[in-house]
Amino acid sequence: MDGDPGDRAPLVDLREVDESQVSVVGGKAAHLGALSRIDGIRVPAGFCVTTAAFRRVMAEVPAIDDRLDQLSRLSPDDREAIRTLSAEIRRSVEQTAIPDDLAAAITGALARFGEQAAYAVRSSATAEDTPTASFAGQQDTYLNVVGPEAVLRHVSRCWASLFTERAVIYRLRNGIDHRTVQMAVVVQRMVFPDASGILFTADPVTGNRKVATVDASFGLGEALVSGLVNPDVYTVRDGEVVAGTVATKQRAVAALPGGGTREVAIDPQRQEQPALTQAQVVRLVRLGRRIEAHFGSPQDIEWCLVDDDFQIVQSRPITTLFPIPAVADQENHVFLSVGHQQMMTDAMRPLGLSMWQLTAMAPMLEAGGRLFVDATRLLASPASRAGFLTMAGRDDPLMKDALETLLDRRDFIPTLPDGGGPGHPTTGGASTSTETDPAVVTELIERSGASIAALRRDIATVTGPALFDFLLEAFQEHKRVLGDPLNMQAIMAGMEATWWLNDRLHEWLGEKNAADTLTLSAPGNVTSEMGLALLDVADVIRPHPEVVAFLQGVADNGVAHDDFLDELPKVPGGAEARDAIEAYLDRYGMRCVGEIDITRPRWSERPGTLVPVLLDNVKLFEPGAARRRFEQGEQQARQKAQEVLTRLRALPDGEQKADETARMIDRVRAFIGYREYPKYDIISRYYAYKQALLAEAERLVRAGVLAETEDVFYLTFQEFHEVARSHRVDDELVRQRREAFRSYQALTPPRVLTSDGETITGAYRRDDVPAGALAGVPVSAGTVEGRARVILDMAQADLEAGDILVTAHTDPSWTPLFVGIAGLVTEVGGLMTHGAVIAREYGLPAVVSVLDATRLIRDGQRIRVHGSDGYVEILP
């Protein structure tokens, strides 16, 4: 906007601005200006005091730069300091005189609209009402302001409201520099409505884009916004009111003749009358759809009704809705979250998303920084539906329930004739995997190792655009290895044996989840071995107090000090400790939290991440713990097998049942460990891809093409390829992608999402969970009571013996923490996801898929985990 005279003008008429002038007039005014240009939309007339005026006044505020520096250094949790300093800044802004020429310009504008008329004076910040952040309610609005002196005073108060406590905390939490946000002020002719309220052009609760909701009450909208009244609520779909509730409205906010507002009582005869007729509700929603179409996204709209005429006083994007995956048709679709299956529901950057799409075995769609698969055809065909729902129920009962909820409506997913959709493997009974020879596990691991070694050797020889061509071929090898029928048979052999044992032993012996004990310390599990191997590293460190003290210093200073391995040999015992850590990283350093996103820093890149876990292992365990733990698990599994077989032989047809069970026990122990290996293969390949791509990015930085290496994380693989070819990058695209990623991080991805935008959570429909307990999926048997440690970042772990880990999700990288805990609770997961498999191998009682566990369970509370029955009790 440098060349735009509006950038320097202190005032501009609302009808002259649009969304392109946010830096001049702020988000609210830009939206109001755009609204006033939409055919058929009425907006109260007015003008905007621009950010140029704000900058002039701020330049006169005493010591403002020093105060903003102090403010930026505060923690968002330091509420008292923020309250004190922000109040000082507000007072100083309000006490700073408005320059005479600016005051004259404002009073001159008022003369055109009516000097003694009533006005609404409203804050309009430059970071407000954007597609990714609404900043709703953070700055101030003043209604029924009468007279030039009052308007000038309230303009100053709006400027000062940029520094309300809530606005300052929001910026600190979101990493927004206080200096980058500026304040314009909207001055509009006051509207005195018969009724007012809010229109959401999408259902703000379910996310359904085809459903609009209207809240309405009498008088000014402040009564509704402040919670003074319960509004009438209407739901509109396809131009028809499909639900409506008329509330008893006892109070309203009305304008005073001399300025300001007050609460008034509504005449008892009017209290139960609707604020709008149904015809007016439908007409309002039609206006809302027009506004939504103009801005290109669902809107939160404030409206007023005056003499049966709607006026729009604000429209902002609804920023809490989860985006919908793009499809090429207008048909109904059902999308399932990939992150819930991969135990990583965090937002991913564009390079990570596109790499997973290019290497996945099934087509995937992106939305909100997450990946989804389209399950519509599987659900539409009766031939595939039953097997698919059975598989979904084993993996994630909440997802199955959400899908059944959708199917029960019978109007969203059309039923195709049998054979109309692709089949899906069933999950019961025998299959080709039941005949698989255990020797294939060794063969598959050897094949994988040879393929990865060839990748590492060959990828080192290519650079520039040729690297991307090489990688596209490498992705095909990647998928060939994963899709090898023998690989799938080996995976399914262990999973099917687990299901068989659980089902049959429950039927025959009344045993719940018997396979949990039978799989303790199963051989060949690369993920559980990774956790035990870190215990061995702790054994090397424990005898050297100087090394322990050094590592404690690293942990206290944060994981940013990732060059500590270079310094470690300078302390006694440090060289031996470094060698042990580096040997561990050689084997497992490609792993990290959120490892399916190639842009996440690996342990080899940030070894400091492992230091807190190593220190916990030094503190909590005696030497030789890894070997003892594994042997103890083996012994428990043998004893359980003997006990089960003895009890079976005492039953009718007992010898046959025992023989079948013995074969399945052998099979589960031979194959269940391999369940973790394909992910190890994938992540090993990912690290090779990443090292080559980062080396290419560094070359582009040296060539002046990229500003910094990590800019490529905000490009797709295909876009990165084009940058390597053309030596040109769109810096604005990178900036927009960074901003979008930040906004996606605040969203919670749904398990099930429809093409209408509706998110369906699913529910546990069980009567065996005690009142007040939190239901989940039982994945590892046993009951344990202990202190809950709610940990969202593995690097922040600080465990004591007997602690129970409560977290959102655990991919394999969390396994080193598992050796030091007594139980596990997660918000995401199923019977065969990584956290569940490792919990069983380590003998940890575990309940997964507990909705909102990290919010409902407070860190430090005592809880009891019922790993066999699938619920968690919060104890007094």
- Active-site residue numbers? 834
The strand ranges marked E within 191-321 are 195-200, 211-218, 232-237, 240-245, 251-255, 261-265, 299-306, 309-317
Question: Cα-flanking dihedrals φ and ψ of residue 855, to 5°?
Answer: -95, -40
C-alpha to C-alpha distance for 22 and 51, rounded to whole angstroms = 9
DSSP string across 378-411: HHH-HHHHHHHHHHHHHH-HHHHHHHHHHHHHSS
User: Residue 676 in contact with residue 444, Cβ under 8 Å?
Assistant: no
N-to-C CA span, the chain: 60
Q: Where are the alpha helices (DSSP H) in 74-147?
A: 79-95, 100-113
C-alpha to C-alpha distance for 276 and 279, rounded to whole angstroms = 8
Give the number of other Cβ atoms within 10 Å of residue 20's Cβ: 12
C-alpha to C-alpha distance for 65 and 58, rounded to whole angstroms = 10
Interhelix angle 625-649/654-671, rounded to 10 degrees, is 160
Tokens read off for 829: 């997961």
- 421 Cα distance to chain centroid: 32
User: Residue 837 in contact with residue 822, Cβ under 8 Å?
Assistant: no
* 226 burial via Cβ count (<10 Å: 0-12, 13-18, 19+): exposed
DSSP 8-state code for residue 803 = -
Tokens read off for 705: 């093409």
DSSP 8-state code for residue 852 = T
Opening angle at CA 14, ends 9 and 15, nearest 5: 110
User: Residue 128 in contact with residue 135, Cβ under 8 Å?
Assistant: yes
- Tokens 């400027």 locate to 159
Question: Cα-flanking dihedrals φ and ψ of residue 785, to 5°?
Answer: -120, 140
User: Residue 371 in contact with residue 357, Cβ under 8 Å?
Assistant: yes
Tokens read off for 272: 């139960």
Tokens read off for 795: 């690097």
Tokens read off for 261: 């507002």
Which three-class secondary structure state does DSSP give residue 134?
Answer: coil
C-alpha to C-alpha distance for 276 and 734, rounded to whole angstroms = 46
User: Residue 155 in contact with residue 98, Cβ under 8 Å?
Assistant: yes
C-alpha to C-alpha distance for 820 and 703, rounded to whole angstroms = 47
DSSP string across 519-586: TTT-TT-HHHHHHHHHHHHHHHHTT-HHHHHHHHHHHHT-TT-TTHHHHGGGSTTHHHHHHHHHHHHH
How many Cα atoms are found within 13 Å in the side-chain-facing hemisphere of 855? Answer: 4
Which secondary structure element, helix H or strand E, spans residue 220, and what is its range?
none
Q: Which of 133, 166, 137 is nearest to 318 (CA)?
A: 133
Which three-class secondary structure state does DSSP give residue 370?
Answer: strand
Give the number of other Cβ atoms within 10 Å of residue 864's Cβ: 17
- 413 Cα distance to chain centroid: 27
Q: Which of 611, 530, 519, 495 is nearest to 818 (CA)?
A: 530
Question: Cα-flanking dihedrals φ and ψ of residue 243, to 5°?
Answer: -160, 145
- Tokens 């998110």 locate to 759
